[in-house]
Each structure stands twice: as structure tokens, then as C-alpha cells.
Amino acid sequence: VQLQASGGGLVQAGGSLRLSCAASGRTFSTYAVGWFRQAPGKEREFVAAITWIGYSTYYADSVKGRFTIARDNAKNTVNLQMNSLKPEDTAVYYCAASSGLKTEARGYDYWGQGTLVTVSS
């Protein structure tokens, strides 16, 4: 499975962005997909994840109620809709694929390149 994240950019606090993770590979629909982020000088942290059938989602407390993860297996994409963005959401965002819904980065087998999200105050 190969993943490519896109959609990052510069946005003012309170604004919205939608990140997309495009995947290649016939077995993509059988993987759970997670989004992680890494701010400068900080460790990579879990943001959200969705199971392969799209019915189970999980969010970090810091983004719950503001971010929504959704997937379209027919298009091999997973999107992360980010609303009410805060300066502390500034980070490089990564998508990753795993055999199950996990919140630890080490549990993910495939990673895309990051996309930078910058939220100005």
C-alpha cells in the first residue's frame, strides 16, 4: 500500500482545511487508516483513525468535535475534515495504514509523506 497525503496549507485560527490521503493498492480497503501529526520539537501524536469498513472511528481528545475522519473505499481515499482550527493544530500531518484501528504510531505499517498545516493566530 502506498499513501499520499495532501491538502495542507496556511489558515487562520477558526478556519477549516480538509486533508486527503490517497492510496494505491488493491488491499487498501482492508486496512484501518490513521492520521498523525508532528509539531516542531514534539513527538508524533495520534489524531484520528477509521476502520476498514468505515463504521468505527476514534479521535484524540484534542480534536474531538472539531475534526472528522471519513473514507471512500471506492476512491481509495481517506479525508480528514478539520474545523475550528487552532494555532496548536500547526504540524506536519501524516496518514498511515494498519491492520487494525490503533492509536500508536508503531502499530502502523505504511506511511505517506507529510503535509504541512499552519494555523495563524
Interval 106-113 mean pLDDT = 94
pLDDT confidence of 24, banded at 50, 70, 90?
A: confident
Q: Computed from CA positions of residues 58, 95, 5, 63, in that sequence, does the dihedral angle turn out positive or negative?
A: positive
Q: Assess contact for 114 and 38: CB atoms under 8 A.
A: yes
Phi (first) and psi of residue 95, to 5 degrees: -105, 150
**Gyration radius from the chain CA atoms:** 13
All residues at 6 or more sequence positions from 55 whose CB lies less than 8 Å from its CB, including other chains: none
C-alpha cell at 84: 475550528
pLDDT at 54 over 70: no
- Predicted pLDDT of residue 91: 98
Find where cell 486527503 sits.
Answer: 20
pLDDT confidence of 72, banded at 50, 70, 90?
A: confident
pLDDT confidence of 55, banded at 50, 70, 90?
A: confident
